Structure formats: C-alpha cells, structure tokens
Amino acid sequence: MPELRKDPISDRWVIFSPARSRRPSEYSRSGEAPLPESSDFAQGNEDRTPPEIYAIRPDGSDANTPGWQLRVVPNKFPAIMRDNPDVTSASPLFQRRPAIGAHEVVIETGDSDSSLADLSTAELAQVLRCFRDRIRALKAEGRFQYVQVFKNHGQNAGATIRHSHSQIMAFPDIPEEISREMQSASAHFSREGRCIFCDLLEAENQQEERLIAQNDLFQALSPFAARVSCETWILPRTHHSHFEGHSDEDLHLLADLLRIALVKINRVLGFPPYNLILHSAPLRQAALPDYHWHIEIIPRTSYLAGLEWSCGYYQNALMPEEAARQLREAAL
C-alpha cells in the first residue's frame, strides 16, 4: 500500500507507491513511442479502465461504452488511495503515514492521435470544465484539503501512455510546495496590503517585455525567473483565488488562451514534452485576498542535473524576455 515517509534532514515527505512500478509503458527505452495496437484510453476500450466517475456524452450513451468526448476514471495504479491501512511510525526519527487521497485520470479525448494542443477551443473548454467540476465534487466530500491537477505530456515529462490525458489528485493536507507559495504570498500581503500576483500582473503590463498573449479575462506571460526555456504562466487578470469559482464562459476564454500558448510553445521548441500544473487555493479556505490561482506550463527541454539536485538552482539558457518575444511572434 502507498505510504508517506518523512526525510528527517530536509523535512521532505516522499510518496512510496510500489504498485506504480507495474504501470505499462508505451515508450521504449530509447524514448521512441511505438504505436500500440490500441490504447487503453481509446474509444471502444472502456473495459480496459476502471468504471468512469465522470463523462461528457453528447449522445446520451451509457456509462463505460463508446460515444464519449471525455472520461474520468480512477487511476488503475494510484500513488495515493482513498482507503489505506494505517502505518505506524517506527520512531520520531523515522516518521511515516498512509498515503491517503483520490487519484483520477482525465482522458481528454477519444482520439489517440490528438494532443491537448490539437483540440479545438470548445474541446479544450470541456477539459477545463471537467477540472472545475471534479474539484467541486472532491471538495463536497469534505475529506480533502487540496486538489492538484496536472498533465505530463511526453515520456521526458513523466508520461507512460501516449493518449492525451491529465491527472487529478486530492490530498487530506496541503502539499509542501503549495504551502511555501502561499506563505510567500501571505508575507507580501502583510507588508503591502495587496496580492503579489496582482502586483506582478500590473508590473508585467507596464513593462510588457515578458507578455505573450492575453484576452479580456486571462493573460499568458514568461515569468521573470523562468526555470526553463519558454516556461509560461497563465493567470486571471482580475483577482481569483479559486479556479473552481469560474463560469463556463470564463473557461471558454481560458481554453482559447491555453490553446494559443501550447501552439506557440510547439512552434518555438518543436513540440517538446511538458508538464502543465494548476495551482489553486486550498478547498477549505474561503476566497483569499492574498492568493491568485494560475497555470504553469513547463517545457522539458533539459534535465535536472547536479546543480539543481544539490543546490536547488535552476539553470536556464534562454532569457524570459527573449522567450516571450519568440512566443509572441510564433505563428498560430
């Protein structure tokens, strides 16, 4: 069963989930992706996944049958589990606890040959509405504090299945990285009385050199301290702490900008693997004046090496101002 163990030196928690080693991979050791006869996630292979817990079926077809445009199923090889036997810490020095939570897979399309960037704005809006609806549903359960939505695209970004999909994980506590981000935002609010993300957007709009694209509600930019080439953030232009508070109309506009950002990244970097992550405020907290939800797109054009592992310093060979210029000028 999955469990969490705490490093007594760094205070870092690590998830151990041995069942994940049994995941099938559609990638060879060389990194090439041989085409399987048919993906488990493809239309018509519904019996190869756990029963769906959410689906978009315009023709009213039955659950777990063909006719869907998007499906959500429990992860067959979960890193965390809803019902997980308790584990006892051996000592205060060696702390461990069960890795409890929900782990879901969002199958974003029935077409095994389409990537997220290939979807239409309407199709991409369906994916974003699914994220919102699943966050709301997991929040309603009352047992989770945080929901993390993320996507691994390509083998070097951690994907083992080529068919376009993303993942949703719900945790009973707030992950360390989110806590650090929120503490930084809270400290800025205590000093300045304003949201740091709102201040960031105002400054970026004044300077303009790191802006990539925008519409009436959302803005895409290259962050000032981008960790990798063409790292891109998308934020609402007005203050919103919780992603799940947005309407269908809002998410349609977000889908349009997200599609533009992904297409431009593909043009500049040649269809790179990437991670996409959504950071939103914790479930049990009301609207926060100091936090601003956002999407981070992190192209995986290089590997973490000795400096990153030893010191935590990222190395980026492309200045964010130049990355933003290339992305702005990239054709759609």
Q: Which residues are catalytic, by number?
A: 165
Rounded to whole angstroms, how far apart are CA atoms 48 and 15?
26
Residue 166: DSSP 8-state: E
- The two structure tokens encoding residue 187: 């400290």
H/E run at residue 297: strand 294-299
For residue 278, give the amino acid letter: L
Distances (CA, A) of 227 to 17, 224, 267, 275: 28, 9, 19, 13
- The answer to whether the beta carbons of residues 64 and 85 sit under 8 Å apart is no
Residue-wise burial string across 174-188, b where 16 or more C-beta atoms lie within 10 A, e elsewhere: beeebeeebeebeeb
- The answer to whether the beta carbons of residues 127 and 96 sit under 8 Å apart is no
Rounded to whole angstroms, how far apart are CA atoms 270 and 53?
35
Give which of 205, 226, 201, 206 is closest to 323, Cα–Cα: 226
Report angle CA 219, 222, 225 to the nearest 5 degrees.
Answer: 130
